[in-house]
Amino acid sequence: MGELGREYDGGYAEYALVPNPLLMPITTTLPWDVLAALPETYLTAQGALDTLAATRGRLLIRGGTSSVGLAAASIAAAHGVEIAATTRRPDKADALRAAGVDHVLLDPGGSLAASVHALWPGGPDHVLDLVGANTAVDSLSLVRRTGTVCVAGSLSGWVIPDLEPIAMIPSGTKLTAFHSDTLKGSTPALQRIVREVEAGAYRPNVDRVFGLEDIAAAHRYMENDRATGKLVVLP
């Protein structure tokens, strides 16, 4: 969190010097591999869901098998939200269901209009778009009128090409975004997440744990799209 590894060096270090406001002292009984999977994924997911006010209704998660997508599903499911999530790979459907997803939608790489409107003719109340720039406009066409789309991922880039707000954002529909930097140093938010995980309400998906000496293997594993959930590297 707080741009560690970008704005500040130390992402792969055993020790790092960072500004005090980025530190989040918490109390927990969780093991390191589970705890390490929470700040970037669960804080981002929680912040995005709070931005959407997605505590009830129907939620579509685009990019559902990303680590943030699985975290968002776990959080939303704990609040009783009806969830649909997308994946490009049928073999990852079980992981989505285990995270609390009610409806798994295969993403053909284009518009999701047919599959989403077959499930929810009026559209979802909220769309959490973790794919980002390339799918944001399609997400705006899927959400119900007066619903909200939150872009909180950049898997397809940062810039929405040729954005024409009047033409692309239906009247009454809201487009917003969330960046994890908003919650940097947010000890109460992280402590709340930790307590929910300890209580079993949230179910972190740690795909695999690597030692620091195996960091190259961890990158190969990730870049070959083998992970479903969070990869953790421990010293």
**190 plus 174 within the same structural domain:** no
Identify the pLDDT of residue 235: 86
**101 plus 28 within the same structural domain:** no
Q: Which domain holds residue 165?
A: 45-180
Q: What span, in angstroms and rounded, lies between the C-alpha atoms of 125 and 133?
A: 20
Identify the pLDDT of residue 180: 77
**132 plus 112 within the same structural domain:** yes
Total of domains in the chain: 2
**137 plus 227 within the same structural domain:** no
Closest CA to 60 of 36, 34, 87: 87
Identify the pLDDT of residue 3: 62
Identify the pLDDT of residue 222: 93
**CB proximity list for 92: less than 8 A, separation 6 or greater:** 65, 228
pLDDT along the chain (235 residues), means of 10: 66 81 91 92 94 95 94 96 96 95 93 96 97 91 96 80 88 91 80 95 92 95 89 91
Identify the pLDDT of residue 110: 83
Identify the pLDDT of residue 170: 92
pTM exceeds 0.95: no
* Amino acid in position 112: L
**213 plus 101 within the same structural domain:** no
**159 plus 196 within the same structural domain:** no
